[in-house]
Structure 1
Amino acid sequence: MNRSYFSPAAYLSLLLAVLLGSACRSATADEAALSGLVFSDGAHLEQQRAKFTAGDAAVVSLVEQLEAEADQLLNAAPYSVVHKAQTPPSGDKHDYMSQGPYWWPDTTKSNGLPYIRRDGEVNPERATLTDHREMGELMNASETLSHAYYYTGQEKYAQKAAELLEIWFLADSTRMNPHLEFGQAIPGRTEGRGIGIIETRYLGKITDAVALIRASDAWNPELESGMQEWMGDYLNWLLTSEKGKNESVHPNNHGTWYDVQAATLALFTGQDSLARSMLENAKESRMDEDLEANGAQPKELARTLSFNYSTMNLFGMFTLARIGEMVGVDLWHYDTPNGANLKKALDYLLPAALGQSEWPHKQIKPIKPEELIPHLGIASKVYDPAYAATAQQLLKQYPEKAGSALHWPM
């Protein structure tokens, strides 16, 4: 494997963890873990855990629900790329493969090939390739289990999370090779595309899970070394492969989420300067390019699910801004040359989300206002506490999203 992106800083962090041993299983270890979380607000987690310990009824209820979900995962079968029935073009089942969601057989052709695009309409045939679903389930399970461990301290949750991560990423018989050469293939057209990289956009849930269970008895130097190596190899592929390079210059949500992944993995492997450089570049390559003066995102508005994609891309930008905080780059208060910024982009979406006006752009399915709850929680801390009240308003309409309050201020 290519080890060039497993940096000296990462090795030093691992060595310190080994030397400190059980001494690291303390509040100090928690603080170090919390400061680098990508898909949760670390300071908020700390506050919520204190409330849970003190018996705050609302937080206790949320943690009990989290525990119930985590308990269901304790007996979950492991996830792996080798479970799929199909074999990738490489002949190696350890290679991830998926099919582009919006591509369908051409009914004017006897064999349906090459497939044709129907934007926003998911071909159910895609589900026959199970890697995408299993990886998504792994990411969500890792998040649930690691947070359950953080809030309750119960080792069983950390143990299960570590087991799932080892099977997907490290075990010789089940591991995924660290690349996406065969992501989002199109029958009759291509065996894989760079835009398949969007399917790993939540890898930060995995690095967050590792951060949260490092203080547990379930984690050890061998697992740490293996995860550092795998993430380093995948980062190397993102940065150097043809598909990775193509995705890095993609002009819409694909480019945004490429940056999220690469910056996250750079931080995970101890390469803060690389992450910092990417975040500085994002001002021009993402925000300047993607935002109109009023906060609209024209590249996402061109889609048939324009609200969904605007919400998705904005969450990617919010995530970049959160990572920027970790390396001293302020995207929260950056104004583009046309006067746009992240706050305006959020405000542009709110009237439709709150039912105050119709969404004026193409949307072939109902909008999902609840997807803005994390954005609002984050904005309540960065911009204006009033956003928390808006988040609460949506939570009343979508109580199934109540668990968001364990991740974000609101």
Structure 2
Amino acid sequence: MKRQLGTMLLFVATINISFAQNTFKTQATAILKAQVLKEAVWAMQQKTVTVTTESSPRSTGGKHDFFSEGDYWWPNPANPNGPYVTRDGETNPDNFVAHRYAMIRFSEIIGALASAYKITGDEKYVKQAIVHLKAWFVDPSTLMNPNLAYAQAVKGLYAGRSWGIIDSIHLMEVAQGIIVMEKAKSFDKANLATIKKWFTDYILWLNTSKNGIAEKNAKNNHGTTWAMQVASFAKLVNDQPILDTLRLRYKNVFLPNQMAADGGFPLELARTKPYGYSIFNLDAMVMLCQILSTPKDNLWTYQTPDGKSIRKGLDYLYPYIADKSKWTLKPDVMFWENWPVAQPFLLFGANYFGEKNWFNTWKSLDLKPTNEEVIRNLPIRHPIIWF
């Protein structure tokens, strides 16, 4: 009798967990449908823009190399023509970021088209997406080389830095969009194979180059977002050894070393934009759970021996999202008024744990932010394709 009762309780618990994992998926899709279809109308009209469309004379790379300049670096008042100096948290508006904007635009286009295809099944969206995918990854005259060796350069100091790898988080929704669309009749196998080869090459560069290894080992949000984007690319190309390694990294590196006992992120809280960086890092942690979790290795429920978990991180930050006035630290030095928006951690956390308050907060916030800094730090803007 006891064995039967235990089996019944386990069965009920399993049902409840399964229900929680899909609690708000349908509601979120219904809320976002009109917005997605409107974005898709825009995306259907866009011409291709890649890294070859615009260039900077300050780049030491070639025509096909992504180039950007570090955000927080400025001319030195004491030596205006010399190497730049840093001002943490303060963005220099005169630095070259055209390639970053092109990649964000690319992400917006593919995210919108893949979302519309998932909702409607209309292959016109796939056909338009392929035009842009070929421009970035296939066409020899316009493609981007699979590296970020020249990202976030600093005048007079660095041709490129490891921190610049964070710029390619905006390829995540490109990769996920391909996953959504790849079985469509319009997606020919030859182009798909070439595109996947590009991502395979980029994964290799991220894991073997000097800058890639440095970013991988970064102790703050840079390490987390390195793993987040590698996870999304590895999922596209079905690189199971990489996915297995990233699950271990989440459990043995990120949770133990980045999260405090209360669920906060001390390295982010020590920055000049602690609120924005805490949000950014929690989004990345949650997306690792969303991308990497399997029935046999569920990161959503994983706890370190001392009790750290993604649930603890969500419980820590949520009160400050629901009521920003409760934030106990100084306001961020820039963009304080622009956060929060409809953060991915609210939606995916609510969907897994069945937290209605989190979901209601998500849908009450800005679902389509337009601030450039927010968009830059919000790689997941089309959640429908991630369910």
TM range (shorter): 0.7 to 0.9
Alignment of 1:52-131 (within 5 A): 62-87=32-57, 89-111=59-81, 113-126=82-95, 128-131=96-99
Amino acid in the other structure paired with 1:236:
L
Within 5 A, what are the aligned runs for 1:171-182?
A: 171-182=139-150
Q: Which residue of 2 aligns with 1:144?
A: 112
Residue 329 of structure 1, CA deviation:
2.7
What residue identity is the alignment partner of 1:93? K
Calculate the aligned-residue CA RMSD, in Å: 2.6
Select 2:232's aligned residue among 264, 269, 275: 264
Secondary structure at the counterpart of residue 371 of structure 1: coil
2:241 pairs, out of 259, 273, 276, with 273
Change (3 A) 1:149 1:397: closer
CA shift for structure 1 position 253 = 0.6
Change (3 A) 1:353 1:368: farther
Kindly state the Cα deviation for residue 193 of structure 1 after the two structures are TM-superposed: 0.5
Contact 1:178 1:231 in 2 (8 A): yes
Q: Report the counterpart of residue 378 of structure 1 in structure 2.
A: 348
Deviation at 1:43, TM superposition (A): 6.6
Flag the 1:188–1:64 CA change in 2: closer, same or farther, 3 A. same
Among candidates 78, 100, 113, match of residue 132 of structure 1: 100
Do the aligned partners of 2:64 and 2:142 also contact (CA within 8 Å) in 1? yes
Q: Please report how far the alpha carbon of residue 74 of structure 1 lies from its aligned counterpart in structure 2 after TM superposition.
A: 1.3
Q: How far apart are the structure 1 equivalents of 2:164 and 2:251?
A: 24
Picking from 155, 159, 166, the partner of 1:187 is 155
CA displacement, residues 236-260 of structure 1 (integer Å, 9 cap, x when unaligned):
1011111111111000011011112
% identical aligned pairs: 29
Amino acid at match of 1:312: F
Alpha-carbon distance, 1:361 to partner = 2.1
- 1:185–1:191 CA contact under 8 A, matched in 2: yes
**1:235 pairs with 174, 183, 203, which one?**
203
Aligned residue in 1 for 2:194 = 226
Partners of 1:210 and 1:356 in 2: how far apart? 36
Q: 1:282 to 1:154 in 2, by over 3 A?
A: same
* Counterpart among 269, 289, 298 of residue 301 in structure 1: 269
**Matched AA of 1:114:** P
Structure 2 CA distance, aligned partners of 1:181 and 1:405? 29
Give how far 1:391 is off: 2.6
Preserved contact between residue 51 and residue 64 of structure 2 (Cα < 8 Å):
yes
- 8 A contact 1:80–1:174 mirrored in 2: yes
- Distance in 2 (alpha carbons) for counterparts of 1:162 and 1:264: 19
Could you tell me which runs of 5 or more consecutive residues in structure 2 were left unpaired when the two chains were aligned: 1-20, 370-380
CA distance in 2, matches of 1:43, 1:221: 32
Deviation digits for residues 47-88 of structure 1 (CA, Å, limit 9, x no counterpart): 74xx9xxxxxx9667423321211112121212101123256
Which runs of 5 or more structure 1 residues have no equivalent in the other structure?
1-41, 52-57
CA distance in 1, matches of 2:321, 2:153: 34
Counterpart of 1:28 in structure 2 is none
Provide the TM-score with structure 1 as the length reference.
Answer: 0.79
Q: Once the two structures are superposed, what CA deviation does each residue of 1:92-142 show, in whole Å capped at 9, x if it has no partner?
A: 21011000111111111131x21111111111112x441111001101210
TM-score when scaled to structure 2? 0.84
Distance across 2 between alignment mates of 1:232 and 1:352: 39
CA distance 1:64–1:296, change in 2 (3 Å): closer
Does 1:160 find its partner at 2:121? Answer: no
